[in-house]
């Protein structure tokens, strides 16, 4: 089966670009929430620093290896989605653990919707129509 042509985020349809931008913002928010949770968890300062820096760093490494658009390893879709769920839904769980229950639920719902839309349109890449030929 031939592979669909790549779509440039900046020249694709506006909704595709908006969804990709939302995905990027969710990824940044996930790192912030994981770090916030890490610094707010633990009994002593050393453990807080290890968690506050280590958990987001582990998320970055996992994302870079498996889930990033130019990931070093290109696993099956199931593993990519598992890594995304671990990082993104894990950040919503961290937010929930911090006591921000409504924000955590909103984050989880937006992550699921964004990922579903992104994966759906990555499977059937939007193709820009060809301009009419000059006569």
For the stretch 23-59, pLDDT in tens is 999 999 999 999 999 999 877 999 999 999 999 999 9
For the stretch 76-119, pLDDT in tens is 888 988 999 999 999 999 999 999 999 999 999 999 999 888 87
Residues composing the chain: 135
Tokens linked to 82:
């598992």
Q: Is the pLDDT of residue 129 over 80?
A: no
Query: What pTM value is reported for the model?
Result: 0.78
Q: How far apart are CA 107 and CA 88, in angstroms?
A: 8
**Closest to 121 (Cα-Cα) out of 10, 2, 17:** 17
H helix runs in 6-135, sequence order? 14-40, 45-62, 77-84, 90-97, 101-123
Is the model more confident about 130 or about 74?
74
């Amino acid at each position: 089966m031939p592979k669909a042509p790549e779509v440039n985020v900046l020249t694709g349809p506006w909704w595709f670009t908006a969804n990709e931008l939302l995905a990027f913002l969710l990824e940044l928010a996930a790192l912030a929430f994981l770090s916030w949770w890490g610094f707010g968890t633990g009994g002593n300062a050393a453990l807080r620093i290890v968690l506050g820096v280590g958990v987001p760093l582990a998320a970055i490494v996992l994302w870079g290896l498996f889930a990033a658009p130019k990931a070093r390893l290109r696993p099956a879709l199931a593993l990519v989605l598992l890594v995304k769920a671990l990082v993104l839904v894990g950040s919503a769980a961290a937010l929930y653990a911090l006591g921000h229950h409504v924000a955590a639920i909103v984050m989880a719902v937006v992550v699921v919707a964004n990922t579903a839309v992104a994966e759906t349109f990555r499977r059937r890449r939007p193709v820009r129509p060809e301009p009419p030929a000059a006569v």
